[in-house]
Structures are given as C-alpha cells and as structure tokens.
Amino acid sequence: MPKKRFDPLEALATTPLAKAVASSSIGKSVATKLGVPPSVELRRGRNNPGGAISLAELNNSTLTRRTLQLLGLFTINPVIDTPDARTLGEAGRPVPPGYEGRLGALVLDLTELRAVTDLEYVRGVLRPAIRALERSGRIIFVARTPETFDELEPRVLAQGLDGLNRTVAKELRGGATSNLVWVDPETTPQALASTLRFLLEGRSAYVDGQSWRVGAAEVADDVATSVRPYAGTIVAVTGAARGIGAAIARTFARDGATVVGVDIPASGEALARVVNEIHGTALQLDITLPDAGERIAAHVAERYGEDARLYAIIHNAGITRDRMLANLDEKGWAAVLDVNLAAQLRMNASLLDGRAGGLADGGSIVGISSTSGIAGNKGQANYATSKAAIAGLVRAMAPRLADRRITINAVGPGFIETEMTAAIPYLQRQIFQRSNSLAQGGKPVDVAETIAYLADPASAAVTGQVVRVCGQALVGQ
C-alpha cells in the first residue's frame, strides 16, 4: 500500500487548538496574543527592483546579458565570495565580500553549467548577494532545460539547480523571491525578454521557488519590449464579476486590451460595474451551456465586427463544492467538473474552429489550475480532479496548437484572498496564509499579472507551462 503523504497544512489546520479557535473572534485574539508578526508588504506592479541588478555569467554564456541589454537594463558585476577575496575581520574571522549598496536582483546565467566544479562559482556569487538583497529583491537562475543536453553531467546539474532554487526561495527573507527559468539552445533574447522582465518586476510578487520553460519562437524587438502588449486586442475573461476574474479584467485593460467580461446572469450587476470601469463589454452567460463558446464568439462578432477575433480567452470561472468523498453526491461531483473542466473543453473546441469572433491564430489560452489540484486536498476530490486536469490540458494541447502559434498555459494559485477563501474560518485562514515562503496570502492581482505575462504576445515561446502563484506554498511542491 502506498504510504500516506504528510500534509503539513492539514496537520496544522486540524490540531485541537486550531479547531477549537477556528471561529473568528476567538481566533483573532489568540493570533494577536501569540504575536504573529505582520508580513512584509510585497513590491507589486510594473516596476524594477530599486537596487542594482547584478549579472553573473558562467563560462561563455551571454544569452541573459543580451536579453537584459534588449530590455535596456543596466547591470553590475557580481561580487564573488572566494577564499582569496575574503579579508580578515576584527575577530580574525574571514569576512565574505559584500555589495556596497542595496542589491535589487542577482541574475545568474548558468546556461553553460557543465561540471560539478562549476557549482562553486554559483555558491560564490550567491552568498554575498543573498546577504545584500533588498526587500522584494530577486534571485533569478537561467539554465538550460535538462532534456536538451545529450551529455550526462550538464543534464543532471541543470536538474540540480531546481533543488538549489527551491532552497534559496525558502531561505530568502523580506519578500524576496527566487525562480528558475529553463531555456532551450534555440531560445533568443527576444523570446526570453518577457520572462526576465516579469520576474524582475513587481508583477511576479507572489511567484516564488518556481521553475518553467521558455522555448523558441520568433518575437520582434518591439513586441519583446512593449509595455502595453494588448493594445488593439480583444480578450475574454470568464468569471469576471469578482475576485481573481475582476483583477484579470482590470490588468488586461491596463495593458491595452478591450475586455469581454463573462459571468452568470445572477452576477450581472457586479459584472457591469467591472466592465464599465475598464470600458469593456459584458456577456451574461453560464459557461456550462452547451453553446457557451459559440455565444462568446457571436458576442465578439456582433460588438466588434465580423472580422474581429479574440486574441485570448482566460478561463477563470471556477467553483468549489467541498465534501469528503464519502459524502459527495452525484450533483456536487458533476457541478464542479462541469464548470471547471468540461465547459472549458467545449468552449476551446468552438473558439478554435475558425468561426467569426473565435480565437485568432497567434493568440493565447490561459486556464486556472490550483495547488490543491496538484497536491490533492481532503474534501476536494471533485475540485482537485478538475484542477489537475487543467494542468494536463495545457500540456496536451500546447503541441497541437503550435502550428497556429497559439500558446496555452495555466496558473496554479495557492492561497489568494478572495470571497472564495474569505469563507474559511479565521485561524485556519491564518495558517493557510502563512504556510508559504512569503508568509502571506496572495492578492488577486498577483494571479492576474502572471496570466497577463503568459498571454503576452512577447511570451510566444512560453507554452504548455503551469506557473504556480503561491508564494512557494508548503503544499503541492
């Protein structure tokens, strides 16, 4: 029999204390008395770190330097901690060198990592950088996708960086993050630019300890460097009336898109408020209707003309009907699978069939998975099935859509502060919020920014990926 995996969140949330004080007012005062420290305010938005960006290049790698140059970013050389570079401090102990000012980010180009002995260079540049990193600073590893190596040593070393990245992310403090980008030998600076920029900027605030792949695609210089990538495009967002969906709609509108907000008729008023604010249009629609995709396309064609096409569809609408499997009836099972999965499959099929108002070639699809889906979660058999399926869907569809240059990706949110999660009792919510490396819950905008990065025309080389927006949650790593 397989051993049951230890789930730290479950263990914490089910302690007698947590259960006893889970109801709100008592829980709140207990947390206050325990003196839970307030979490660090994360740097958010389209802005770079305040301090310097240091670039470490191993052997002959230049991809990252050329990418940062394309983005107009100035870099400094890293300080290297080697026995030779150490001076003796007052107590006669060696003192590693440090940066003079605050360090905003250290970007390590390790695409030419070849031998185990090269790893000493990696340690040597990381140590002083970690000490000097500012709040919400960044460590970014750029490495070759392990499967693209024939030789054994570079391949296993590239894989080893995954463990290093995850550990660095856990050790960093003050809202700083560490992430790893895998690149292919054919990846160009233009194809890598959107990812490096996203990781450096505050847009990636709640993405921590993650790794994903940037492949090859042709991206023009002006596309790679645009800060209003959605100008002139139409983007549909399901479940746009509130929560994460409303944040997605606002983020795409900020970046130039005309947004078609979709939500159930019962949320009509809230939906109207969101789309009016961003000059989009509303479509009251239950996405589980068999012809939901056709209706979205018809709305686009009617409102924006027969030649209009959707640039992107963001499948955000999702529901939970939590019950232990022993108590889960047919209705609770079917409702979740229909909204979270089957509706998406149907809508994709009709939006991709070339009809007026459907998805344009060169466009993008983004779905929402979940850490619960990836790790499994007690009481969420239906939800976890649907969300793991979304991760499978993007991996399966990416190669099929490559001919049409359509990308398909998903985000995997962890604990995000929305109405969905506000229903969780106070103390349990505190535990969930803090059980990640950033010791706080994410905001809807964190998920929205990651989706907007994935759907960006500049991210044409990013497809079939699931990027978690979870602050490196303890669950589902």
Q: Does residue 384 bind ligand NAD (CB under 6 A)?
A: no
Q: Does residue 267 bind ligand NAD (CB under 6 A)?
A: yes
Binding mask 419-458 for ligand NAD (x = CB under 6 A): xxx-------------------------------------
Q: Which is nearest to 461 in space by CA: 157, 133, 198? A: 198
Is-contact 114 157, C-beta < 8 A?
Answer: yes
Residue 62: alpha-carbon gap to chain centroid: 26
Q: Does residue 385 bind ligand NAD (CB under 6 A)?
A: no
Q: What does the alpha-carbon distance between residue 261 and residue 245 come to, in Å, rounded to a whole number?
A: 9
Q: What does the alpha-carbon distance between residue 181 and residue 67 come to, in Å, rounded to a whole number?
A: 13
- Given 121, 206, 383, 426, the catalytic residue: 383
Q: What is the CB neighbour count within 10 angstroms for residue 329?
A: 9
Q: Does residue 370 bind ligand NAD (CB under 6 A)?
A: yes
Q: Between residues 225 and 421, which has the closer beta carbon with respect to ligand NAD?
A: 421
Tokens of 385: 């099935």
Residue count (the chain): 477
Is-contact 226 280, C-beta < 8 A?
Answer: no
DSSP string, 167-214: HHHHH--TT-EEEEEEE-TT--HHHHHHHHHHHHSGGGTT--S-EEEE
CB of 376 to ligand NAD, least distance (A): 14
Tell me the pairing of strands 359-368 and 310-315.
parallel
Q: Does residue 288 bind ligand NAD (CB under 6 A)?
A: yes
CB of 191 to ligand NAD, least distance (A): 28
Is-contact 355 298, C-beta < 8 A?
Answer: no
Q: What does the alpha-carbon distance between residue 73 and residue 182 come to, in Å, rounded to a whole number?
A: 21
List the end-to-end C-alpha distance of the chain, in Å, as a whole number: 23
CB of 413 to ligand NAD, least distance (A): 4
| Cα angle, residue 173 at apex, residues 450 and 97 outer, rounded to 5° | 115
With CB under 6 A as the contact rule, the residue among 40, 264, 334, 356 that binds ligand NAD is 264
CB of 386 to ligand NAD, least distance (A): 8
Q: Name the one range near ligand NAD by CB under 6 A: 43-51, 186-194, 234-242, 357-365.
A: 234-242
Q: Point out which residues pair with 180 in neighbouring strands.
A: 141, 211
Q: What does the alpha-carbon distance between residue 30 and residue 32 come to, in Å, rounded to a whole number?
A: 5
With CB under 6 A as the contact rule, the residue among 67, 194, 204, 316 that binds ligand NAD is 316
With CB under 6 A as the contact rule, the residue among 263, 446, 449, 456 that binds ligand NAD is 263
Total residues binding ligand NAD (CB under 6 A): 27
Cα→Cα distances 100→52, 79, 103, 354, Å: 10, 10, 8, 57
Binding mask 184-223 for ligand NAD (x = CB under 6 A): ----------------------------------------
With CB under 6 A as the contact rule, the residue among 40, 319, 356, 360 that binds ligand NAD is 319
Q: Does residue 239 bind ligand NAD (CB under 6 A)?
A: yes
CB of 439 to ligand NAD, least distance (A): 16
Q: Does residue 252 bind ligand NAD (CB under 6 A)?
A: no
| Residue 43 DSSP code | P
| Residue 323 DSSP code | B
Contacts (CB under 6 A) with ligand NAD, residues 406-425: 413, 415-416, 418-421
Q: Point out which residues pair with 52 in neighbouring strands.
A: 103
Is-contact 331 323, C-beta < 8 A?
Answer: no
Q: Does residue 283 bind ligand NAD (CB under 6 A)?
A: no
Q: What does the alpha-carbon distance between residue 287 and residue 38 come to, in Å, rounded to a whole number?
A: 40
Contacts (CB under 6 A) with ligand NAD, residues 121-180: none
With CB under 6 A as the contact rule, the residue among 49, 51, 245, 457 that binds ligand NAD is 245
CB of 220 to ligand NAD, least distance (A): 33
Q: Does residue 241 bind ligand NAD (CB under 6 A)?
A: yes
Q: Between residues 40 and 420, which has the closer beta carbon with respect to ligand NAD?
A: 420
Q: Between residues 51 and 245, which has the closer beta carbon with respect to ligand NAD?
A: 245
Q: Does residue 280 bind ligand NAD (CB under 6 A)?
A: no
Contacts (CB under 6 A) with ligand NAD, residues 324-353: 339
CB of 423 to ligand NAD, least distance (A): 10
* 453 annotated active-site: no
Q: Which is nearest to 404 in space by CA: 365, 363, 367? A: 363
Q: Between residues 223 and 439, which has the closer beta carbon with respect to ligand NAD?
A: 439
CB of 180 to ligand NAD, least distance (A): 22
Q: Does residue 274 bind ligand NAD (CB under 6 A)?
A: no
Task: Write phi, then psi, for 141 (nearest 5 degrees).
Answer: -95, 130
Q: What does the alpha-carbon distance between residue 49 and residue 461 come to, in Å, rounded to a whole number?
A: 25
Catalytic residue numbers read 383
Binding site for ligand NAD (CB under 6 A): 238-239, 241-245, 263-264, 267, 286-288, 316-319, 339, 368, 370, 413, 415-416, 418-421
